[in-house]
Amino acid sequence: MKKTLLVTAILSMTSALAFAQTAPVTNITTDTSKINVEYNFAQHVQRDSGHKDGFGVSLEHGFSDRLAAQYSYSKLNNKNITNIKDHQLALVYKYNDMINFYGAGTLIDTHSHNYGVQAGVIGYMPISDKINGYAKVGLGDDIKQSYQIGANYALTDGVDLNVYYGYDNYNMNEKNTTVKGLHAGIGYTF
């Protein structure tokens, strides 16, 4: 119970801040939390030359075997246009052993703050005893549409590596910006 209250407090505090492109919630377990950190390399940004990098972090917590919350933050470092800071607070529902649905609120911070909502589906399945594949499709209002395809590899019982290709489309202040590229990270479940 204390862990649930702590995670709820952290998610509440961080949702008021202004990265949403992190590994999605695939395994929902009661009173289990997970933190993910990742590096975004060789990102291609529309309207900006060269490849960009960035980072992301997320915290998720299972409130039951079917319901979890995830807060994620990412920052993309751009050269010629403003950096993109992306916050997302999502509620994830486990439909069955291979499909989750989610709804989220987003805050995209560039020069101005843009708020939005997003809904989507996450499909996942075991590829081997240590590797799970996943795909995510999220559609939102004028702020964000996102797509991911990737896999995570279980190093130990509580530690996994993840790698995925992500595509995000932002439409902020009547400017369309697409960000796509590879992401790699590590997750710790506790």
Domain that holds residue 80: 32-189
Asked if residue 78 belongs to a domain, the reply is yes
Q: pLDDT averaged over the chain? A: 85
Rounded-to-integer distance, Cα 44 and Cα 178, Å:
8
Rounded-to-integer distance, Cα 38 and Cα 166, Å:
13
Asked if residue 90 belongs to a domain, the reply is yes
| CATH code, 129 | 2.40.128.90
DSSP for residue 142 = S
Asked if residue 21 belongs to a domain, the reply is no
Asked if residue 159 belongs to a domain, the reply is yes
* Neighbouring C-beta atoms of residue 170, cutoff 10 Å: 26
Instruction: Please count the structural domains in the chain.
Output: 1
Asked if residue 2 belongs to a domain, the reply is no
Checking if the pLDDT of 129 tops 90, the result is yes
Angle at 16 between CA 77 and CA 73, to 5 degrees: 30
Rounded-to-integer distance, Cα 186 and Cα 58, Å:
11
Q: Evaluate whether 37 touches 89 at the Cβ level (below 8 Å).
A: no
Element (H, E) at 11: helix 2-15
Q: CB-based burial of residue 156 (10 Å sphere; 0-12 exposed, 13-18 middle, 19+ buried)?
A: exposed
Give me Rg for the CA atoms of the chain.
16
Asked if residue 47 belongs to a domain, the reply is yes
Of the pLDDT bands very low, low, confident and very high (cuts 50, 70, 90), residue 10 is very low
The residue with greater pLDDT, 13 or 188, is 188
Instruction: Give pLDDT tens digits for 158-173.
Output: 999 999 999 988 877 6
Asked if residue 77 belongs to a domain, the reply is yes
Q: What is the pTM of this model?
A: 0.83
Asked if residue 18 belongs to a domain, the reply is no
pLDDT at 15: 34
Q: Which tokens hold the place of 25?
A: 């919630």
